[in-house]
Chains A and B, each alone.
Chain A
């Protein structure tokens, strides 16, 4: 080796990138440098317009890049390297060009180096590429267009976005494919892109004030954002890690976040309050229930300010009889089935040979629902919702008494047991298995019989009797 050559091998070269994101340019220069055998320490890469490397002043004068010998081997790079490099070069770290070159240089002697994830150069470059991918992904997600009217009357959509890295040009294609038939512009402090339906145009960096201010559709969007969020599941940390605060200022919905978080607890409390009783523990004894039910205001009937009527009978009764709701007389005495319907029921139970005092008798709804006509209180049928609400109490009674067989009188009682409305005529006369293993039998309510006359009454009384007889027989079987 001649002395002259060894001196020239100490030469430094400086490459200034024409654009911060120009992969093709970097690749062409890097290939050439590799082929000329110029080691990474001897190349200084600088950003466009930047002051270059800090040490460039002290470095020897840089020179024109040499031309490789014709017989110099081709530069090689693995596929993985190329795809990582294409992303990494968009990073705002000023050292990225040099880092990439060093790795390309090492690749010539270690072609599989990219696979070695424990290598520190490989890790750094992968990290750069990863932050760029993340930034691009956030751009796809968080660009918010606002509609502006163009002079020609056409819709034009303009967005302001602040990326961390030089990703704007690289992502033009995504927006072009997605909004092919819209005219749009994305303005950023790192350069702008525009699409008119035919071509992508670039323009120099913009300022926030260049972008439009508002769009009426944002009110709709904010309404949506506030409504779709479930305050019962606040997970602020998860939100912040995916949507860091730095992006918030350009997203119209983000201004709601503090308020939504602050209000979540009270919104959840309201939700829970509205369904309040599910969150109280159910009383575990009939006595405790008796006391607690008086204070129940879970449905409007409780507000009528009368007394609640609990069930009555042995706490280990094999049979539970459920009616609809207390009437005027039950409300006055505080005992179930003491009025006219109760008397009719007693009569039929007696005839069928079922001992009333061996049964636990109660109602689906615990308070008396009525409307006032002068001095009189007229019975009103509870709604399905009221029955469902009051079901909480009947279920508490069932849990304590654990009857083998339940006889539901009428549609409200049947609903309280099944959670749905059934037609008495189709379900009567045969058992329905309940979840806890008990059997449900359904028949008419005795007050229904009271409202009928003549043949119709005789016919219905017969059906009622049959049902009670069947129940007695079944009870006898269950007792064995």
Chain B
């Protein structure tokens, strides 16, 4: 078999990256290519340049530098003992691909991760080199996300942050126990150590930037991480608890959840079934509640069942509201913002609209309807000028009324 062509390598190394959930290219410093010699811009909001049939947005060229790996993590398609075809890009090839895709407006930039070849340091050097070529030789001003290797020398991780908009370090599994069992070569303390270091580098760079205009930027879009859901026995309560510690402890911008997918050549240690995708979705919803709706971890955990898992048939906000019925109904004409945000079916936009509109009029139910996506879900939880729901506590069937019909659920879970 001759050497692989670029297109064959791309096939293999993109395929190997498809299990990674993180993709966003948003939230970095604004840049453009005016006055430079290369290309690229970032304007705050990331752009999804295409959508794949799995519903995920494609905004970055997401590839592995190589899928060779000296590690043997059970959930990973690239594990040493897996039979997949292997390929490897040079840093130059990665840079060339990025540039030629970028020039055609296919992507916002590069998301590079890698299996571990030779040693963690060797691999990290190669990844940093790809980013260096892009920034220094091509004067590329688009987005770069590097998935760093926690075992690598902190100095290398630091260099990665100087070239990249975002760096991420996977925590892999929600519990230490899961990590020991499924990723026997990885070490939880090392992963956290690396995150801590990136956090302090980010803070330092921000501080320096305030004082010296020309201080180098360090990962302006912050750091993120990913956990695999459903490969071990961790409950949603464990997961949400872990995520909130990560947000708090390491100042992460995002925690991505990736429902464990069946992988060819999987190890026998993995569970018998893949978790329903809807579980991942419920976790993202609860993440959202904590980031934008003022919910505490405790609130989200209270919405869970006895088994410590979020219900799958209804969203976590509704689950919380059904458990704390005495809080409702809330008067849309009087209730403060934080309380309105707890009403199932009212998003941030709808709440803002209500608050703005009620300065001008006393809202009736049909007017609230105009400001929200669907009034049916909201109605049992609010009072308006001409509306007062029958007491919630009387309605044992409320959950059934509000839960989406079964067919829809199936569709989502497909």
Contacts and interface: CB of A to CB of B under 8 A. Distances in A.
Question: Does B bind A?
Answer: yes
Interface of A: 112, 115-118, 123, 137, 140-147, 155, 157, 159, 174, 176-182, 215, 217, 219-221, 223-239, 242-243, 251, 253-254, 257, 260-261, 264, 268, 270-272, 274-275, 277-282, 298, 383-385, 388-392, 395, 418-420, 435
A235 B410 CA distance: 11
Nearest to B270: A278
Contact of A278 (B49, B72, B83, B266): B266
B365 to A, nearest CB: 12
Given A118-B363, A144-B104, A278-B262, A419 B181 contact: yes
List the 3 closest A-B pairs by CB distance, nearest first: A238-B55, A235-B55, A275-B266
Contacts of B266: 274-275, 278
Interface residues of B, number: 83
A245 to B, nearest CB: 12
Contacts of B38: 181
Contacts of A217: 100-101, 104
B33 interface: yes
Given A115-B359, A221-B101, A178 B41 contact: yes
B353 interface: yes
A62 to B, nearest CB: 36
A239 B53 CA distance: 6
B263 A220 contact: no
A277 B268 contact: yes
Interface string B1-43: 0000011001110110111000000000000111111111101
Contacts of B17: 228
Nearest to B182: A419
14 contacts: A116-B357, A117-B353, A157-B104, A178-B39, A179-B103, A225-B52, A228-B17, A234-B55, A234-B414, A274-B264, A279-B272, A280-B272, A388-B268, A419-B182
Contacts of A282: 272
Nearest to A272: B262
A243 B184 contact: no
A271 B263 contact: yes
B193 to A, nearest CB: 21
Given A115-B357, A118-B367, A236-B55, 9 more contacts: A174-B43, A178-B41, A180-B36, A220-B6, A230-B18, A230-B19, A385-B81, A388-B74, A390-B268
**SS of A interface (majority):** helix
A242 B53 CA distance: 11
Contacts of A231: 54
A391 B103 CA distance: 49
Nearest to B267: A388
Contacts of A277: 268
Contacts of B35: 180
A228 B62 contact: yes
B277 interface: yes
A123 B53 contact: no
A395 B357 CA distance: 62
Interface in B235-271: 259, 261-271
B136 interface: no
